[in-house]
Every structure is written in C-alpha cells, then in structure tokens.
Structure 1
Amino acid sequence: MFSTGCVFNLSWLFRRDQQSDEDWADLQHLFFQPGRGIRSGRGQQTGLMFGVQFPVGSKASTGTLGPHGFVERGQEPEPPALVLNNGGGGGGEDEFQGTGSLWLWPLPPAGSLRLVSQWTDFGLEETSIMLDGGKLRDAAKAAQQYWPEEGSNHG
C-alpha cells in the first residue's frame, strides 16, 4: 500500500484441457508473449486485461497507458490509471502459470471499487469483484516513507 495508490499482487494459472499439441503451442505463445501475435496467424488475440471502475463512475484499464504505464517524465497520466506489470511465469505440457502486479493510481474514494478481468483467448470472459475503496484508503494511512523527499535536509 502506498499513500497515493495501491498495488494488487496477482497470480493466474491455466490448465490444459483438450487442446492439440499445435493449439497448446499457440496458447503457450500467447501466454508468455502477449501482444506479439499468434505464431500460426490464426485470428486476433485479446491478451490479459484488467480494469477498474471507481464509485464515482470513472474508469481505467490496463490497455490505456501501454506496457508498464510509461508516460513522459514529469507528467502524470489522466486519473485514474491502472498498469499491469508482468512478474514472470512458467509452465509445460499441462499448465501455464504467471504472476504480476496491478498499480492503481490514485487511491479510490470510499465506496465500491469494481475490479474487472478478461482474457478471452483463455476462456475468461469479463468477470469482476467489488472491493471497498474506503478500506484501501484506510490501509494507505499506515504507509510509511522509506526515503526522504528530494531536496529535503538529510541532517
């Protein structure tokens, strides 16, 4: 938890069902190299997507800012902003697993925060959970500064 935003640590797992070896290889390519297209050129991929809706109605999705949420130095994105940072993964003949984190900025206001996920390439249609924005704000009050601000007196 941070004083201005929050991080959600995520993990996901996909188990092989009835896919042929060729289809499994295509799915492996999609799982570990999202955004690079399907090896055999079969169709359009959707990628793993997340979104949020604040209690006041404003929305953000992971596709808005591009990979890792890069914006020009010294500039803030239009709030709210949601960024997916992939952490890694692995897998083999029977399953793929991955991890990542979502950075949400700014902290949501008190009320119901809707967190949405979708990955249609892997059969996950849009699904969501509701979180309490007030509890996230309360947790952020306990955030502690580890490093002094730039330009402050270091003693």
Structure 2
Amino acid sequence: MGFFDVPPPPVMEFEEEERAVPAWDGPPKDMLGALVPVERVLFRNDALVLVLAAATVFPEGVDLQITMAARRGEGMDEETWWSRREQLMGSRSHLRPGRALPEEIERFGVRFPDGRKATILDPPPEPGEWPPRRPDGPILRFRYGRAEPSTRRSVYRNWHLWLWPLPSPETFEFVVEWPGFGVPLTFTEIDAVPIVAAAVRAQPFWP
C-alpha cells in the first residue's frame, strides 16, 4: 500500500423513501405523456396573440401549453415598445394579499359545465402530514414559463399549466384575461374528448 491511499466510497444512508409528487401538484416525472394538439386561438388583435397550443396528457391530469406572440404596432414609438417588450418577457408579478391584481399579470383559468372553476391565482392546497390529503378539484397550477428567442419588433413566450384532475369528456371553457395588454375577460370552448381519450397512451419510462 502507498502512503496516500484512495479513501473507500462513502456509505450512503437514506432514512426514508423518496416521496412521489402528489398527482395534483404536477405531472409524474417517470412517465411519458401523450401529446394532443389543441391549436385554439384564445385571443388575437393587431399586436398580441394567445394560443392554447397543445396538451400533454397523463392518467391523472394534463399539462396545457399556452403560446404568446406579440409585435410592435404601427406608430408605436421606440421607448413605448421596449418598455412593453420588457414587461411581456418578464417574470410573473407577485400577488399581494388584500391588494388589487396588477394589470400586467396574466390570468388563466378553466370553467366546467357544472360551474366548477380553477385559476392559476388560486391558493395551493394546504400542506399537512405525509401523505397529504387529497384536495377537492379542480386545480390549475402555473408550472413554469419562459421567453423564447425574439427579434427587435416581436417577442414570444410560453407557459405550462397543470390541470388536475382530468376533465370529463365534454366541452369546457378556457378563460384568459390580461388587462395590461388589452386582453379582456375571454372564454374559449375546448373539446376535452380527445384530451381524455389520450390518457391511455401515457406510458411509464420503465415497466
């Protein structure tokens, strides 16, 4: 043996099993979801378009992808455009309890035929003992969003929202409002039949 010996590998001890993400919190990490094109325009004017582009479906919920494209309008001066562009590409504003919603914050929601609704502004389920209590649905959670490569005259973003549980196989409404950018409260009918049917195509990464 030499003077300087390679130390033995450390003993890794795990006191508890890895906790799975609750179904209402987001899609399972170890599963390939089934992709369903939706391709519904939620709002469009001369300067801004919002589209519900696609749904990635899992056995207990669905990831909804929203795509935005915005462009500099005719007659808009340079300073106004760059201020607007920065806001469109920026992260979501923080909500302050008891205060009015900032006009620059995007608002997405769903409403079902029985009157139930969910929005990304709803408070998350209360944390508690493990395993957590199954909450009442529906839940619509903001997962993440990002700005895409843009140009001097246009900007692009997308958002991913987690809807739990899977809706019933009928038409529901997707709701959007974004006052700071001229988007009024707008309801768009979405056919959930192909979305629900796709759940059987989701497959685990390992059998």
**TM-score interval (norm. to shorter):** 0.7 to 0.9
Match of 1:27 in 2: 84
Q: Out of 51, 58, 64, which is 2:109 matched to?
A: 51
Q: Out of 4, 9, 14, which is 2:70 matched to?
A: 14
More helix by share: 1
Give the AA of the match of 2:176.
S
* Shift in Å, 1:77: 4.8
Match of 2:59 in 1: 3
> What runs of 5+ residues in structure 2 fail to find an aligned partner?
1-56, 96-101
Greater gyration radius: 2
Q: Out of 134, 159, 167, which is 1:100 matched to?
A: 159
Could you list the per-position Cα deviations for residues 24-73 of structure 1 after superposition, in whole angstroms to 9, with x for gaps in the alignment? 23323321133169xxxxxx4241111101222100011114xxx68637
Q: How many residues align?
A: 139
CA distance in 2, matches of 1:61, 1:35: 16
User: Normalised by the size of structure 2, how large is the TM-score?
Assistant: 0.57
RMSD: 2.6
> What runs of 5+ residues in structure 1 fail to find an aligned partner?
38-43, 149-155
CA distance in 2, matches of 1:107, 1:92: 37
User: Normalised by the size of structure 1, how large is the TM-score?
Assistant: 0.74
1:141–1:71 CA distance, 2 compared to 1 (3 A) = farther
